[in-house]
A and B are shown apart, each in its own frame.
Chain A
Amino acid sequence: DAKTTQPTSMDCAEGRAANLPCNHSTISGNEYVYWYRQIHSQGPQYIIHGLKNNETNEMASLIITEDRKSSTLILPHATLRDTAVYYCIVRVYSGNTGKLIFGQGTTLQVKP
């Protein structure tokens, strides 16, 4: 699975949009981009995933560049409860294993 690079930490003001970048320059054509987050002392929570097109759900939006070498997770109106570690993961389902390879993620601190 391709390696991802994320900033170690970011701050965001409450009510503002949080834009979390991720670089995945070695992504393959059949690898998806997944985002999970982990709030302190909890298990990771799925947020969103995509292949080529931009995606939106009730939690966030995912913007993938045309060359697919980077993406941005957007939380449109961050709240204090969005403070968490955000993991960008790229993976392909190999048919034998769907394991997720977690990096260090981005620690997002939402401030009042």
Chain B
Amino acid sequence: GAGVSQSPSNKVTEKGKDVELRCDPISGHTALYWYRQRLGQGLEFLIYFQGNSAPDKSGLPSDRFSAERTGESVSTLTIQRTQQEDSAVYLCASSPGLDQETQYFGPGTRLLVL
């Protein structure tokens, strides 16, 4: 079956512009996660959705970052007024939403802010 998909796969933008990153989770997965990975670093948790609500936004680095999820499916991560330090790979993962379940990751969106 289809895995987690993300779009675009690559995004180059200018400093100060807004960007939207999209995640399509595995069908039926109620939990969805966003992570960020800077070059040569480990993954940083950003935000978690259970259904359409976000009980944990603790990883969002600033108020320039926001995310939403609709229809318990697609999620969009928006970065406003991008800065060069926002350059990273943004990874999305989904899971069935049960205890101790496996998270399945997408291929990521590589964002470069010039």
Give the A interface residue count (CB, 8 A): 19
Summarize A's interface: helix, strand, loop or mixed.
loop
A-B contact count (CB 8 A): 54
Whether A43 lies near B105 (C-beta < 8 A) is yes
The proximity string for A residues 33-47 relative to B, scoring 1 for CB distances below 8 Å and 0 otherwise, is 000000000111110
Summarize B's interface: helix, strand, loop or mixed.
strand
Residue of A nearest to B91 (CB): A43
Residue of A nearest to B47 (CB): A99
CA A32 to CA B95, docked complex, whole Å: 16
Q: Within 8 Å of chain A (Cβ to Cβ): is B56?
A: yes
Residue of A nearest to B95 (CB): A98
Binds A, one of B12-20, B62-70, B75-83, B96-104: B96-104
Whether B59 lies near A43 (C-beta < 8 A) is no
Chain A residues contacting B55 (CB-CB under 8 Å) are 96-97
Tier of interface size on chain B? 20 to 34
User: Can you list 26 A-B pairs, Cβ within 8 angstroms, ordered by A?
Assistant: A42-B107, A42-B108, A43-B93, A43-B105, A43-B106, A44-B43, A44-B105, A49-B102, A87-B42, A96-B55, A97-B48, A97-B55, A98-B31, A98-B48, A98-B103, A99-B33, A99-B56, A99-B59, A100-B33, A100-B35, A100-B43, A100-B45, A102-B35, A102-B44, A104-B41, A104-B42
